[in-house]
């Protein structure tokens, strides 16, 4: 059989990185190792994210990766945003989710659904110094997201919002919120409307910060809207079309959570491999025992499979292809891998892994949220089943 020529050779796989992407990834990785890692343990213990690190996120351009240069952004790709989330999460998933929400949810919504005036008002801020948050969930509307009860009533030139939002990531640090409310409860999902709400608006309050199992440095708070006054020009998209914004934005956000979970699994695995080479039992390193080698190999295989799913899905998004099924699969599988890998890494550490003196315990705690937020695993399975059985 003749050798493949330049014309007949197979194209590079979708998951391959360009030289520019490798440079970007390595820059974020270096920052995570050198600047983020020294703060991880203290931030987890205190449940507070170091403010100076967020300032560095902005300085590095990590908070406006896809935003066009005319608004102060990096004019990058969704794939680059995913690389950033993965590399930060390899060191601290709390850092990864801050950058994830900013890019895949908030900036994404602002890029695709705002008017030109709204773009000029908000995108430069999101790239310079303003953290964003995405406010959909409520006490009675989790997986059933469109059962929300927060009301929005038009009074003159303003909408008056009343209600409560729960489990809002980045809420403590954020100054701008993409917030979903309904203008007509009787209209069901067709009454849901998206608003750009600023923390400074009258009647808006950030409430209790949750004391969480994992990703403790990432703030998760309730929002209280008590006659919160939002200018009519801050409607995002069209009145009654908030459900469409929520669905499309969350589909992209799930890829971001996949990146967070992949980074987490990598971080835990790297520590476990290093420990297995150093820990000696019966006169030799435990990495020399076949049982440990098999566990390390199994984890490495699952991590690589998750990476293939994630990178391919991000490429599909950038290419303008349909990626709903792939996003659900990515989020489902990456969260499963993260939990399995983190758990097994604790076991490789043995008794040490069960203490807070070693890093794998934190990765294990952090992994649990992957199966819950931005669509539970059961919701992802339901989506996948519908699409593959068509």
**Residue-range domains of the chain with CATH:** 19-131 (1.10.540.10), 133-240 (2.40.110.10), 244-388 (1.20.140.10)
State the catalytic residues.
Answer: 374
pLDDT digits (tens, 9 = 90+) for 278-315: 999 999 999 999 999 999 999 999 999 999 999 999 99
**pTM attached to this predicted model:** 0.95
Which residues, including other chains, have CB under 8 Å from residue 367's CB and lie 6 or more apart?
214, 261, 264, 265, 268, 335, 338, 339, 341, 342, 343
Chain centroid offset of residue 259 CA: 7
Given this model, what pLDDT does residue 2 score? 38
Which token pair is 131?
Answer: 């953290």
Report which of 158, 162, 159 is spatially closest to residue 149, judged by C-alpha positions: 162
Given this model, what pLDDT does residue 14 score? 63
Q: How many CB atoms lie within 10 A of CB 158?
A: 17
Q: 66 and 79 in contact (C-beta within 8 Å)?
A: no
Ramachandran angles phi, psi of 90, nearest 5° = -60, -30
Which residues, including other chains, have CB under 8 Å from residue 100's CB and lie 6 or more apart?
81, 85, 253, 256, 257, 259, 260
Given this model, what pLDDT does residue 10 score? 40
C-alpha torsion sign, points 14, 15, 20, 21 = positive
In our burial notation (b when 16+ CB lie closer than 10 A, e otherwise), range 25-64 reads bebbbebbeeebbebbeebbeebebbeebbeebbebbbbb
Ranges of residues in the chain whose predicted pLDDT is under 50: 1-12
Residue 133 β-bridge partners: 177
């Amino acid at each position: 059989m003749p050798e493949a020529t330049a014309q007949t050779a197979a194209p590079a796989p979708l998951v391959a990185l360009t030289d520019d992407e490798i440079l970007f990834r390595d820059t974020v990785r270096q920052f995570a190792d050198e600047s983020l890692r020294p703060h991880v343990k203290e931030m987890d213990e205190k449940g507070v994210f170091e403010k100076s690190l967020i300032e560095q996120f902005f300085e590095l351009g990590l908070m406006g990766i896809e935003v066009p240069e005319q608004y102060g952004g990096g004019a990058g790709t969704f794939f680059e945003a995913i690389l950033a989330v993965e590399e930060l999460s390899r060191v601290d998933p709390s850092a990864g989710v801050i950058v994830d929400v900013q890019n895949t949810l908030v900036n994404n919504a602002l890029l695709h659904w705002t008017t030109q005036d709204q773009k000029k008002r908000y995108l430069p801020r999101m790239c310079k110094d303003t953290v964003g948050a995405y406010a959909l969930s409520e006490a009675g509307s989790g997986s059933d997201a469109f059962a929300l009860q927060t009301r929005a009533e038009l009074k003159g030139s303003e909408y008056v919002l009343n209600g409560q939002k729960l489990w809002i990531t980045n809420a403590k640090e954020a100054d701008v919120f993409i917030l979903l409310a309904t203008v007509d409860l009787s209209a069901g999902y067709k009454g849901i409307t998206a608003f750009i709400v600023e923390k400074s608006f009258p009647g808006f309050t950030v409430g209790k910060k949750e004391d969480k199992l994992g990703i403790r440095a990432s703030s998760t708070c309730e929002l209280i809207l008590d006659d919160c006054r939002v200018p009519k020009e801050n409607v995002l998209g069209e009145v009654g079309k908030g459900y469409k914004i929520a669905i499309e934005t969350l589909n992209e956000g799930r890829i971001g959570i996949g990146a967070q979970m992949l980074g987490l699994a990598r971080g835990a695995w790297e520590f476990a491999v290093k420990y297995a080479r150093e820990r000696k039992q019966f006169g030799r390193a435990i990495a020399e025992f076949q049982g440990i080698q098999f566990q390390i190999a199994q984890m490495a295989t699952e991590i690589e499979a998750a990476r293939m799913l994630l990178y391919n899905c991000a490429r599909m998004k950038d290419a303008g292809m349909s990626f709903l099924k792939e996003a659900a699969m990515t989020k489902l599988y990456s969260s499963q891998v993260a939990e399995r890998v983190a758990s097994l890494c604790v076991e490789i550490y043995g008794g040490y892994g069960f203490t807070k003196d070693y890093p794998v315990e934190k990765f294990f705690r952090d992994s649990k949220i992957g199966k819950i937020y931005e669509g539970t695993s059961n919701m992802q399975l339901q989506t996948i089943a519908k699409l593959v059985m068509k």
